[in-house]
Chains A and B, each alone.
Chain A
Amino acid sequence: MRSWNLLVPLVVGAPLLAAMGFVLAVTLSGGTGIGPFRADPPRNPSEALILGDPATAIWMFRTGADPAAVYDVRLEMLASGMDEHVRPLLAAAYTGDDGIVSVALREGASLPLDEARTAACWLAGRGLETISGMLAPPEWSPGVCQSAGDGRGK
C-alpha cells in the first residue's frame, strides 16, 4: 500500500518534474555558459542587428565597435540573397524593420556610396521602399536600379 501511495503522486508529478528539470538545465546552461543551451550571443554589431537585437549593437558601438566597418556574419543567421560580409547598416536593413535601421543610422552606421546604391535597389526590389529610401544616396531613384540592373539576381 505504501509503495502505491508514493507511486501515484510520482506518476502525476513526473511531467512537472521533467518541465522543472528542463528549465533548470536551460538556466544553468545559460548562467554558466556550459551545456547544450548555452547562450550564443552576437559576435559583432552586424550579427546583433541581423538578429533583431539593436540594444546589443548599440552597446557594442558605444564601447568602441566601428559602425561603418564590415563584419562577418555566421551563415546560419542569413537568409538567401544576403551577403555574409556585412556592414551594420545593411544588416539592420536585412531585418526589414525601419525602427532598427533608424537606430543604426542614429549610432553612426553608414555605407559607401556604391554599396548604398546597390542596397537601395536590392531593398526596393523586395518591396522595402521605406528602408530603401533610408539607405539611398541623395540623387538615387528607383529608376536607377532598372537601368543599371543593380540589386537584381543577387
Chain B
Amino acid sequence: MSGARLWRVLTLLLVVVVTATLGYFMTREPIQLTDGASNMISVADVGAWQVFVEEMTNEGFFRPLMWPPYRLVMDWSGGDYFTWFKAIHVGQLLVLLLLLARWVRVETGPDLAAFLFGVAVLVGGHTFPGTIREAFPINHFLMIAVCTLGAAVLASERPRPVNDLLAVLLFTYAALSLESGLLVWVAAVWAWCLGWRGVSRWGILAMTAGVAAYFAVRFLWLQTGTPGLVERSTGFGFGIATSDEIQRLFGQRPFLFYAYNISGALLTLFFAEPRGGVYLFVRGFVIGPHEPWVLLNVACATGVTLLIATAFWRRRAHLRSGLSHHDRVLLMLPVMAAANAVFCYTYLKDVVLSVAGVFVAAAAYAALRDALGGLAVRAWRPLPMLAVVGLTVLSSAWAVKFVGIHNSVRKESISIRREWAQVDRWLERQAIVLDTPAKQLVKRRLEADALRKAPVAPWPELPWSRDWFDETQ
C-alpha cells in the first residue's frame, strides 16, 4: 500500500469511528415533539405533492421541499419511522464527514492529525450541535451543510458534465428546503472564482439562473416576502428579548437590528461570542458569574481563528501568485462566513451558521496542516517548541469539546424522552388536535418509538463535566 493510500484508509477509518460514536448517541434520541412529531402529524393526512403546494404559499418563508420528504419517508418506512429517520440522520453525518475528507485531501501523517483536529472543530464547534442534537425527522440544517460542502467538493474535482448536473440538483433541493440553501450557489461561484473548474461555467450559469428564478418566484410571483421582526423572541445584549421588545426598539429602524445580528453572526463564528445573540462571555465579566464552559468555548474558537489567521499570513505570497488546493480551502472561508452571516439577519441562531462552521473546520485543517509543515523543518528550537506546546493545548481544549458533544446529545435524549412521557399534555398546550385516525396512528407509533426504542445511552460520571461541557449546545 502506498503512503498516501495508507493515510486515506486511516482517514476513512477515523470518519467511520466518529460517525459510529456520535451515531450511537443520536440513535438513542427519540424524534422530538416540537418541529418533529408535530410536523409529521400535520402531514399525516396529505400527500407529498399537496404538502409541496401548501408550503409554496407560506407567508414569510419559502420552503416547499422541506416537508414533502417527511411524507415520502413515512410512506416508505411502513410505519417504522424511528429506524428510517435515524438512519437518514446518521447517514447525513457520514456523508458530511466523507465529503470533508474528500475535499481536504489527506495524504500524509501530518494531514491525518490536521484532519482529526478539523473534525473536532467541526463536531465540537458551537454551530454544529444543532444539526445532530435537534432530533427533527430530517435535519435540514445538516442537509444544507451536506449540499454546500458537496458543491465545494464537485467544484474541486476534475471537470465532468455530471458535476454540473449534480451541482444544479444540490442547489435546487437546498434552496427549496431552507433559505440558507442559497449558500450552495455561493460556494460554487466562489470556488469557480478561486480557479476550481470541477463545475463548468455552464453549471455556474445554470445555478445562477436558478437563483434568479428563485427570487422571481418568491418575491414577484408568490410574493412570499421575508420574515419580519416580530416572528419570535431572540437573543439581544445580555438576555432574551421578546418579539414585542424588539419591535419597540427597532420597529422604526430594523436595519440596525439586522446589523446587530449579522455582526454577531460573524463574531460568534470566529470567537464563539455572542451565543444566539446573547453576549455570555462579556456578561460574565460585567455581571457574573463566569462559567468555565463559556471561557472554554471562547478560548477554543479564538485559538482556531488565530491559527487560521496565521496560515493566511504565512501563505500571503502564495495567495497572490499560484494557489494550491489547500490555499483555496482556506480562501473559501471568508466568503462563506460572510454569506452565511447574512442569513442570520432577522434571527441569530448558532445552527443557522452550521454551513460556515464546516468551512471553519476545513480552514482549521488547512491551517494546522500548514503549521505542522512549518514546524517540521525547524526541529528543536525554542519558538517551534512553544508553537508545539500551544497547538497541543489547543487540541486538548477541543478534545474536551469533542467529548462534550456526545454528552450534550445524550442530555437532549433524556429531555426529549421526558417530553414524550407527557405527550398528551404537550399536544393540549400546542392546541394540536388528533382528529383523524392517520394523525392518531402517527402519534401512537412515535410515542411507542420514544418509550421503547430509544433507551438512554450510558455515560460515566465526570465530576468536572457540569462546569466544562457546554450543555446549551
Query: With an 8 A cutoff between CB atoms, is A146 at the interface?
Result: no
- Interface digits, A1-42 against B, CB 8 Å rule (1 contact, 0 not)? 100111011111111111110111011011100001111110
**Chain B interface mostly helix, strand, loop or mixed?**
helix
**B399 interface neighbour in A19, A31, A37, Cβ under 8 Å:** A19
**A39 & B21 in contact (Cβ 8 Å cutoff):** no
A103 contact set on B, CB distance < 8 A? 421-422
Query: With an 8 A cutoff between CB atoms, is B233 at the interface?
Result: no
**A38 & B451 in contact (Cβ 8 Å cutoff):** no
B308 to chain A, nearest CB (A): 16
A35 to B406 Cα, complex, angstroms: 18
A24 contact set on B, CB distance < 8 A? 17, 20-21
**A20 interface neighbour in B368, B392, B402, B456, Cβ under 8 Å:** B402
**A13 interface neighbour in B24, B116, B379, B425, Cβ under 8 Å:** B116
A38 to B24 Cα, complex, angstroms: 13
A40 contact set on B, CB distance < 8 A? 458
**B422 & A8 in contact (Cβ 8 Å cutoff):** no
- Interface digits, B397-410 against A, CB 8 Å rule (1 contact, 0 not)? 01110110010000
B116 contact set on A, CB distance < 8 A? 13, 16-17, 20
A22 contact set on B, CB distance < 8 A? 403
> Given the interface contacts A9-B114, A30-B458, does A16 sit within 8 Å of B421 by beta carbon?
no
**B109 & A20 in contact (Cβ 8 Å cutoff):** no
Query: With an 8 A cutoff between CB atoms, is A44 at the interface?
Result: no
**B450 & A55 in contact (Cβ 8 Å cutoff):** yes
B451 contact set on A, CB distance < 8 A? 55-56, 58-59, 62
Interface centre among A1, A16, A37 (most CB of B within 10 A): A16
**B421 interface neighbour in A9, A26, A58, Cβ under 8 Å:** A58
**B460 interface neighbour in A8, A27, A37, A100, Cβ under 8 Å:** A37
A9 to B113 Cα, complex, angstroms: 6
**B376 & A55 in contact (Cβ 8 Å cutoff):** no
B21 contact set on A, CB distance < 8 A? 20, 23-24, 26-27
**B109 & A6 in contact (Cβ 8 Å cutoff):** yes
Closest to B385 in A: A8
**B110 & A8 in contact (Cβ 8 Å cutoff):** yes
Interface size class of A (residues with CB under 8 A): 35 or more
A24 to B17 Cα, complex, angstroms: 7
**B392 & A10 in contact (Cβ 8 Å cutoff):** no
Query: With an 8 A cutoff between CB atoms, is A99 at the interface?
Result: yes
- Interface digits, B373-413 against A, CB 8 Å rule (1 contact, 0 not)? 00111010000000010011001101110110010000000
A16 to B120 Cα, complex, angstroms: 8
A20 to chain B, nearest CB (A): 6
A27 to B14 Cα, complex, angstroms: 15
**B459 & A19 in contact (Cβ 8 Å cutoff):** no
Report B1-46 residues with CB < 8 Å from chain A CB. 14, 17-18, 20-21, 24-25
B129 to chain A, nearest CB (A): 14
> Given the interface contacts A30-B457, A37-B458, does A9 sit within 8 Å of B372 by beta carbon?
yes
A133 contact set on B, CB distance < 8 A? none
A20 contact set on B, CB distance < 8 A? 14, 17-18, 21, 116, 402
**B452 interface neighbour in A6, A59, A106, Cβ under 8 Å:** A59
Query: With an 8 A cutoff between CB atoms, is B414 at the interface?
Result: yes
Query: With an 8 A cutoff between CB atoms, is B418 at the interface?
Result: yes
Report A42-99 residues with CB < 8 Å from chain B CB. 52-59, 62, 99
A36 contact set on B, CB distance < 8 A? 460
A29 contact set on B, CB distance < 8 A? 458
A141 contact set on B, CB distance < 8 A? none
B20 contact set on A, CB distance < 8 A? 24, 27
Interface centre among B17, B112, B395 (most CB of A within 10 A): B395
Query: With an 8 A cutoff between CB atoms, is B117 at the interface?
Result: yes
**Which of B's residues lie within 8 Å of A, judged by CB?**
14, 17-18, 20-21, 24-25, 109-110, 112-114, 116-117, 120, 368, 372, 375-377, 379, 388, 391-392, 395-396, 398-400, 402-403, 406, 414, 417-418, 420-422, 424-425, 450-452, 455-460
Taking A19-B400, A23-B402, A39-B455 as given, write out 20 further A-B residue pairs in contact, using a Cβ cutoff of 8 Å, ordered by the A residue number. A8-B372, A8-B376, A11-B388, A12-B391, A12-B392, A13-B113, A13-B395, A14-B392, A15-B392, A15-B399, A16-B402, A19-B120, A23-B403, A26-B406, A26-B457, A26-B458, A27-B20, A27-B25, A30-B24, A37-B459
> Can you report 6 residue pairs joining A to B where beta carbons are below 8 Å apart?
A9-B109, A9-B372, A10-B113, A16-B116, A20-B18, A26-B21
**Which of A's residues lie within 8 Å of B, judged by CB?**
1, 4-6, 8-20, 22-24, 26-27, 29-31, 36-41, 52-59, 62, 99-100, 102-103, 106
